[in-house]
Structure 1
């Protein structure tokens, strides 16, 4: 009788306070191929060009690990509050790398009440929300690519724009390369103010703790300031970003370091992306970017600077299948005992995607 009473109360609550939720499934199946003139950090995604003193080693790669599946839900309460849910799984693997195992990409809920939104769950970082168009991660991780982490956020829309504030899980590492460590004693604080003009001002601040190879690590401040600009019309789109901060590698992949010795490593960079629509079924993307570490605390063999440039042509074969092809150039500069040395990679990329 007790169980029946509880079930009855739950049913009545749903009938009184909410409508039936809507659910839409989405996703894509993706095949990416690439040829590299030199080795990079792994076979599927170029973070930086390897320091290979023995000479360049060519690589060919093919992967379907960027396939993604998910669903959206939407439910309106009788008081006008809108509840939206989002869940997506991909096969990138752990962290920012692409590996052949499932990973929960995002899973969050938005509670929308007029111009105010409350967000909780695993969501993309809110302080910098853009990245240049790329295939197989070819331009990614030189810039913020939407790292996702557990967080709680509040968003408020005003006449001038949208302000978002979030408390997020911090980034840290121990000897097992875990991405969270309880000795980080506070969440990261993220913010973003997106103006109606297309300019966004964002940043975060927190701390980082590293305990490597059984040696008790150090705790340092971690922060960033980011300035974005995004403008889009019917036939073209322009995106750009500049950033600066310290101990940023948990947010900005590629060549970043959090701590060297007992000091936070400063990092500065930016990128520009222009996308032109050619016709109803094709567009072309041009992108350049750079990221540079302050070498004050770097040792010989450490990465000092990354640069990339890419040209990508995107076309639709039909309503659901697209075909992207492009070329990208990457250059990574390493510190030596007396100066520095460069290594570069030319990548040819192809991608087929079926979206539903």
Structure 2
């Protein structure tokens, strides 16, 4: 019999493609009941059981992606990205794939102009803190997520190494299922897209070898809620303004921070996940932000400490709603070698409820 040929992995594409990703195991111990378990969003109220300890272990944050390099000329560069993880759902040992990024990007380098079509990060509040917690302080002061969009970016050189960046995007209007029918997506039913924009200035800080940037961004989207008998509807706006800062203090120390203020921000993971008061049917205003100081790498170690807060307006909340969410964290990452990293994070979460 002919000897079986040894199989080998092969990835063939018409244009260059780079496969990347990581395999990751996260474990967590919580002194009280945390929503949602594998990662922290807020602390559940201790109505019946105090100090309800929990332990979680998951490989859901393992990630796989492909970067595609399309045909390019000195005038036009084309690229694309596809990235997934496993946080969509499913049993804890049978996780479901979640699409994170899927987009095509056209870049005109001589004009410093980009056009992006597909799903990726929001334009508003573009930074994320360096946490081991998968939710990177969403619902606790960090707003912005990923959604389908058509984005245009234009850069301008303003003398020396200073660069001005203008970003504008038309985005998928993602609301939530209608409070009465559980069928209609209130964002889809608005009949129009959402819009986001950002203006940022950046320049290298010579003595650090890194780039500093400051940005201001905004967001507007609309939801359409139907009445129980489906013969009338009410429209609600979601809007926010935000600031973001990246400031290298030395070659090893960097400060990052964001702040926001707006209303009906659950679609941006703000307002502690609360957008509309379902009793009064009014928008919930909220404000907050986060800041983090990172140090490293030093001897293969990187350290980060930070704090975050999301503070909805109590006057807009129903009794029992989440009225304030604060978190504090400190972590350390150690690179065992070029391919393997271990980390430890300690965090404190405090969630207040109205009345």
Structures share fold, TM-score greater than 0.5: yes
Does structure 2 retain, via aligned residues, the 8 Å contact 1:218–1:262? no
Gaps of 5+ in 2: 1-13, 158-162, 204-212
Gaps of 5+ in 1: 1-19, 337-356
Secondary structure at 1:41 match in 2: strand
> Structure 2 vs 1, CA of residues 25 and 273 (structure 1 numbering), >3 Å: closer, same or farther?
same
Counterpart in the other structure of 2:155: 157
Does structure 2 retain, via aligned residues, the 8 Å contact 1:149–1:169? yes
Counterpart in the other structure of 1:256: 273
Does structure 1 retain, via aligned residues, the 8 Å contact 2:264–2:271? no
TM-score (norm 1): 0.83
Following the alignment from structure 2 to structure 1, what is the Cα–Cα distance between the partners of residues 330 and 341? 17
**Higher normalized contact order (CA 8 Å, seq sep 6+, divided by chain length):** 1
TM-score (norm 2): 0.83
Secondary structure at 2:35 match in 1: coil
1:259-315, Cα deviation, whole Å (9 max, x unpaired) = 113211101001110001151411110010111001112121100000000000111
Counterpart in the other structure of 2:120: 123
For residues 179-328 of structure 1, the aligned pairs below 5 Å read: 181-196=187-202, 198-210=213-225, 218-232=234-248, 233-253=250-270, 255-260=272-277, 261-277=280-296, 279-328=298-347
Match of 2:177 among 141, 149, 174: 174
Shift of 1:208: 2.1
Does structure 2 retain, via aligned residues, the 8 Å contact 1:173–1:210? no
Shift of 1:245: 0.3
Shift of 1:218: 3.3
Following the alignment from structure 1 to structure 2, what is the Cα–Cα distance between the partners of residues 304 and 206? 23
Does structure 1 retain, via aligned residues, the 8 Å contact 2:270–2:286? no
For residues 49-198 of structure 1, the aligned pairs below 5 Å read: 49-54=43-48, 55-78=50-73, 80-93=75-88, 100-114=95-109, 115-137=112-134, 139-141=136-138, 142-144=140-142, 146-159=144-157, 160-175=163-178, 176=182, 181-196=187-202, 198=213
Question: RMSD in angstroms over aligned alpha carbons?
Answer: 2.2
- Aligned pair count reads 314
